[in-house]
Chains A and B, each alone.
Chain A
Amino acid sequence: MANIPAELRALPLEHIIGSPLVAAIKAQALAANTTVDFIKEVGLKPRALESESGESEDELDEVTGESGQPGFEARYVDFKFDRVIEEEVVTPGDPPTKTTKYSVVPSKLTVPLLAIVPIPYIRINDMTIDFEFQIKDVETRESTTEKKVSMKAKAGGWFYKVSIKGSYSNRTVNKRETDRRTTLKITVNAVQDQMPEGLGRILDTLNEAMKVVPVSAPQEITLPT
């Protein structure tokens, strides 16, 4: 090994390239965690405890799952609006008369919050690591293999006695010195990514469950002429 003080021993090239790579992976994982936190905080709520009578209580069961149903449920938003229904009424007679009847149905649409709020999901699309690196020294591994073989042969009567002796040695020399004076420029290109397939399916299911529900009986109205 070259005689270099430990503090001057350079950062290996693989670490200079690999560390930003690892950092990008960690950053991507952090971004995913942020998305998960967003979903949990905005789109979900801890499942409510249910009493024996089946009525929901105010207590929330987020962690312990004492109700036997731990976890989260989707947070919904109710949109109330009046739906106008147009109906044609035929009065029998000669000739029969047609009149149009209008009625208002107070309705509501229950929408999962996750379906109407954009979910932030950032993906690192591309990363450019740009640096100048001065190679001050190169590690060389010199491997020398020495084999010594000696053979002795001895004649004796009807047969030969042969003994073979071998020796094998392997010598490795490591030398390494690289320069720490490296300027690193990293360009990261992050894009808003599509939702992962699993999460997309959950959102589709929630979307399919959306429907308009009447909240009271229709009220007939007369339009001004």
Chain B
Amino acid sequence: MPGDKEGISLKAVVGGILHALREAKHLGDLESARLLEVYKKEEVLSAFTVPAFTISETELELRFALVEPPAENEGEIPEISVNISPEFLKGLEAHQVSLLKLKISPVNLRAFAETESAR
């Protein structure tokens, strides 16, 4: 895997997880949109609300080891290179493994701004 020796960018890992959450929500929205059409056609069912869910909160723990200290370039976010391979982490001392805890909540954004829809 990439990251065994050369490491992988921490922001790529976290970004990948955020991307996965967005995609997961998108999958749910697609199903809700499909059901909306089904509910419209059914007379009695049209009285019901179309099921739709949101991911209210996601908590995750990410264990990693720093591969190399972050390079500090002025005015730029430092690139942190980490190793997240379970096999690699197993061989390390406890103090060498860092734990990142994230609590992710959604932000309400709509495809169309309110000012657009009000026109």
Chain A residues whose CB sits within 8 angstroms of the CB of B12 once the complex forms: 138, 140
Chain A residues whose CB sits within 8 angstroms of the CB of B71 once the complex forms: none
Measured CA separation A35–B28 after assembly (Å)? 22
Chain A residues whose CB sits within 8 angstroms of the CB of B13 once the complex forms: 135, 138
Q: Verify if B51 is at the interface (C-beta below 8 Å from A).
A: yes
Residue of B1, B35, B44 touching A29 (CB-CB under 8 A):
B35
Which residues between 105 and 164 of chain A lie within 8 Å of chain B, taking CB atoms?
124, 127, 134-140
With A19-B27, A26-B31, A177-B1 in contact, do A12 and B20 touch (Cβ < 8 Å)? yes
Contact assessment for B3 and A25 in the assembled complex, using a CB-CB cutoff below 8 Å = no
Contact assessment for A17 and B20 in the assembled complex, using a CB-CB cutoff below 8 Å = yes
With A32-B51, A135-B84, A136-B85 in contact, do A25 and B32 touch (Cβ < 8 Å)? yes
Chain B residues whose CB sits within 8 angstroms of the CB of A137 once the complex forms: 1-3
Contact assessment for B8 and A140 in the assembled complex, using a CB-CB cutoff below 8 Å = yes
Chain B residues whose CB sits within 8 angstroms of the CB of A17 once the complex forms: 20-21, 24, 55, 58
Chain A residues whose CB sits within 8 angstroms of the CB of B27 once the complex forms: 14-15, 18-19, 21-22
> B residues touching A (Cβ–Cβ < 8 Å)?
1-3, 8-9, 12-13, 16-17, 19-28, 31-32, 35, 38, 42-49, 51-53, 55, 58, 84-86
Residue of A15, A22, A127, A199 touching B31 (CB-CB under 8 A):
A22
Q: Which single residue of chain A is at the shortest CB-CB distance from B17?
A: A13
For the A-B complex, the count of residue pairs with Cβ-Cβ distances under 8 Å equals 99
Chain A interface main SS type: helix
Measured CA separation A22–B23 after assembly (Å)? 12
Q: Which single residue of chain B is at the shortest CB-CB distance from A137?
A: B1
- State the 7 A-B residue pairs at the shortest beta-carbon distance, nearest first: A28-B51, A18-B24, A198-B47, A14-B23, A18-B27, A17-B24, A13-B20
Q: Verify if A104 is at the interface (C-beta below 8 Å from B).
A: no
Contact assessment for B44 and A39 in the assembled complex, using a CB-CB cutoff below 8 Å = yes
Contact assessment for B47 and A21 in the assembled complex, using a CB-CB cutoff below 8 Å = no
Could you tell me the distance in whole angstroms from the C-beta of A14 to the nearest C-beta in chain B?
A: 3
Contact assessment for B48 and A35 in the assembled complex, using a CB-CB cutoff below 8 Å = yes
Further pairs besides A18-B25, A21-B25: 11, Cβ < 8 Å: A17-B20, A18-B24, A21-B55, A24-B28, A32-B51, A36-B48, A137-B3, A138-B1, A177-B1, A198-B47, A199-B48
Chain A residues whose CB sits within 8 angstroms of the CB of B3 once the complex forms: 137-138
